[in-house]
Chains A and B, each alone.
Chain A
């Protein structure tokens, strides 16, 4: 078996095992209020980090992509107007795609 196959299989199995481990943590481990607060707040921190990195990150550097920023801005505007989820997504993708098609960003 080639080294690449081993790397692929180890990665695949470990990634699945980590997901399963999180789901199977005994409830009493999370009984402490602080552990509970951590588990509740972790997705908030990680998802916010993903928004930031996916918007202005490019590999190991930060880069401003005007179309992408405008798309996220359109999503925020739609959310402020209490638009439904699908409208928010369409506003974001549509804005970014239009700006690129027009060549302005």
Chain B
């Protein structure tokens, strides 16, 4: 449980620095400092915030910009489906915890060894530690970036742009070792997102990757594991998750 909290705090502090980038981008695109801060305080989900800022910058359609930002936020709703049973927060506390549902807090919560009361305690500790540290740094970063600190230098100089992917890989690692279905779904999700990237507004490809999970879930129960065992890289098989993914790919994109 201590381990979970430590990992969560470290991840929150590291990833939160990209709040600087958001604050700077938001102001550069024409949002006010207050608008940038409201987004970070209430929406608190990076991809959606960047999407709205980009729409404002393009002088584009605000309705379309808002719609794509909200669509990207649907990812967090999907995370909630999984977290609800795992964390089991109730009542008023759930209203607060909901704000903390992000890629990072979900990843840390899911990376904890499951099972029983200690499993739930570790998942909660990881979730709340990530939420707390990331929320503080993300919002402080947004304010600082919006006020001009973004000009001090790019976070890339310190390699901070690779912290996100590296952390997600580390947190996903136990699940990837757990089973062939997980590996196939992960691979299919990555392939879908990359294939969709040139055709979709930024962020949407990641939402489309949910098609990989849908495909695997619709396969007859148990078949996924055994079929995947027979043939390595699973998602290329026509019956595999990729088929659902391909149809999903073609729908909402331009």
Contacts and interface: CB of A to CB of B under 8 A. Distances in A.
Do A and B pair up? The answer is yes
A53 B73 CA distance: 17
Contact of A39 (B81, B198, B208, B221): B81
B189 to A, nearest CB: 3
Contacts of A38: 81, 213-214, 217
Nearest to A57: B197
Contact of A46 (B52, B103, B166): B103
Please report whether the interface of chain B is mostly helix, strand, loop or mixed according to DSSP. helix
Contacts of B65: 7
Interface string B48-68: 110010011000001101100
Interface in B55-105: 55-56, 62-63, 65-66, 69-70, 73-85, 87, 89, 94-95, 97-99, 101, 103
Given A11-B39, A14-B73, A41 B181 contact: yes
Contacts of A40: 82
Interface string B170-214: 111101000001100111111111100111111001111111111
A11 B169 contact: no
Contact of B162 (A27, A33, A57, A92): A92
How big is chain B's contact interface, by range?
A: 35 or more
Interface string A63-105: 0000110011011100100000110110111111110110000
Contacts of A45: 185-186, 188-189, 192, 209-213
Contacts of A9: 38
Contacts of B83: 22-23
Please report whether the interface of chain A is mostly helix, strand, loop or mixed according to DSSP. helix
Nearest to B220: A34
Contacts of A30: 81, 84-85
A18 B30 CA distance: 26
Interface string A1-39: 001111111111111101111111101001001110111
Interface stretch (B116-124, B142-150, B152-160, B226-234): B152-160
A92 B221 CA distance: 37
Contacts of B74: 18
